Amino acid sequence: MDNYVNGSVDSPIVTRIIPRVTLDTSPLRPLGRTRLYEDLVERLGEFVIRTNLEVGERFPPERELASRLQVSRASLRQALAVLEAQGFIEVRHGGGVFLRRSRGFGGVLHKLVERRRRLPEVLEARELLEVRLAELAAIRRSDEDIVAMRAALVAMEDEIASAGLGMDGDAAFHHAVHRAGNNKVLEHVIDGLAEAIHESRMESLSEPDRPKNSLLAHRRILEAIEAGQTAGAADAMRAHLRQVADVALLRWEPPVEDHLLP
């Protein structure tokens, strides 16, 4: 682990991140001793925001981070390991630590743990409801429903082409499928889960290459619905939602806080 982070201080990226005068590096002030793990994650999140660190850019070297935060390198490595497991950073051994995604970075630990606990149930509910709605859509869809689904996929494709996650187009597509299923009770139930579904959508589309893969999955769902293939539509939606469930947050095992003290 000695080469966990090995950046050069005269690197163009590092120089841009921590100049001596222009950037606010107060998030890297020394930490208190209580809840060290949460403080470390929160402080690194502040640093990302205040320095406008962009996806793909490198953090300062490990030794410099530990020195500014006045924590042991072992404690810093534990925090970085958790952030990597959550999909926020990428550790390139011998090359440094790079920002992988910024949305939600530095979330308070108890909120992340709660979201991790809740997410499997949300995904399970989505599969139960949306697979059935896709099956019904293959039977009951109208021409207007097909037009709405196609428009949603065009919007999602445009968002992705503009370096977005495709969130709006994704939501519009699923909504169009729900409407096409033409079951008001199921629609009402799934509408009640809107906030939780948005959360699961954000987690999934923040995964590397996921927006493009989700777009392809949506096209397969649309093809089956348009062809009136009930089993095909159900299978395509089920496969898509199981891909949605493959997220870094669920692969992460929250550490016991006592073990994180240096």
Tell me the pLDDT tens digit for each residue of 204-218: 998 889 999 999 999
Helix (H, G, I), strand (E, B) or coil at 80: helix
Any domain includes 256: no
Any domain includes 16: yes
Give 32's DSSP letter.
P
Residue 182 domain boundaries? 110-249
Any domain includes 42: yes
Residues 121, 242, single domain; the answer is: yes
Residues 128, 150, single domain; the answer is: yes
Residues 159, 212, single domain; the answer is: yes
Inter-CA distances, 127 with 6, 102, 109, 134, Å:
43, 28, 28, 10
Helix (H, G, I), strand (E, B) or coil at 105: coil
Residues 53, 162, single domain; the answer is: no
Task: Work out the angle between the directed axes of helices 167-181 and 109-140 (0-180°, nearest 10).
Answer: 40
Any domain includes 62: yes
Rounded CA gap, 192 and 214, in Å? Answer: 23
Choose the final residue of a domain: 55, 74, 107.
Answer: 107
Residues 138, 91, single domain; the answer is: no
Residues 97, 186, single domain; the answer is: no
DSSP letters, 52-77, are TPPTTPBPPPHHHHHHHHT--HHHHH
The closest of 118, 134, 238 to 179, measured between CA atoms, is: 134
The closest of 150, 23, 7, 213 to 91, measured between CA atoms, is: 7
Residues 166, 96, single domain; the answer is: no
Residues 116, 140, single domain; the answer is: yes
Any domain includes 168: yes
Helical spans, DSSP H, in the chain: 12-17, 36-50, 62-69, 73-85, 109-140, 143-161, 167-181, 184-191, 194-205, 210-226, 230-244, 248-251
Inter-CA distances, 216 with 81, 157, 242, 249, Å:
32, 10, 14, 23
Choose the final residue of a domain: 107, 142, 158.
Answer: 107
Rounded CA gap, 96 and 58, in Å? Answer: 7
Residue pair 261/75 in contact by the 8 Å Cβ criterion:
yes
Rounded CA gap, 212 and 205, in Å? Answer: 9
Residues 83, 135, single domain; the answer is: no
Any domain includes 153: yes
Any domain includes 4: no
pTM of the shown model:
0.67
Residues 155, 125, single domain; the answer is: yes
**262 residues of the chain, pLDDT tens digit each:** 444 444 444 444 444 554 554 555 556 655 544 457 677 888 888 888 888 888 888 999 988 988 888 888 888 887 887 787 777 888 888 888 998 877 777 655 667 777 788 899 999 999 999 999 999 999 999 999 999 999 999 999 999 999 899 999 999 999 999 999 999 999 999 999 999 999 899 889 988 899 999 999 999 999 999 999 999 999 999 999 999 999 877 877 665 544 433 4
* 132: CATH: 1.20.120.530
Choose the final residue of a domain: 107, 139, 154.
Answer: 107
Residues 22, 119, single domain; the answer is: no
Any domain includes 1: no
The number of distinct structural domains making up the chain is 2
Residues 103, 193, single domain; the answer is: no
Helix (H, G, I), strand (E, B) or coil at 41: helix
* 85: CATH: 1.10.10.10
Q: Which sign does the torsion angle of CA 255, 2, 41, 112 carry?
A: negative
Neighbouring residues of 135: CB distance < 8 A, sequence distance ≥ 6: 181, 230, 231, 233, 234, 237
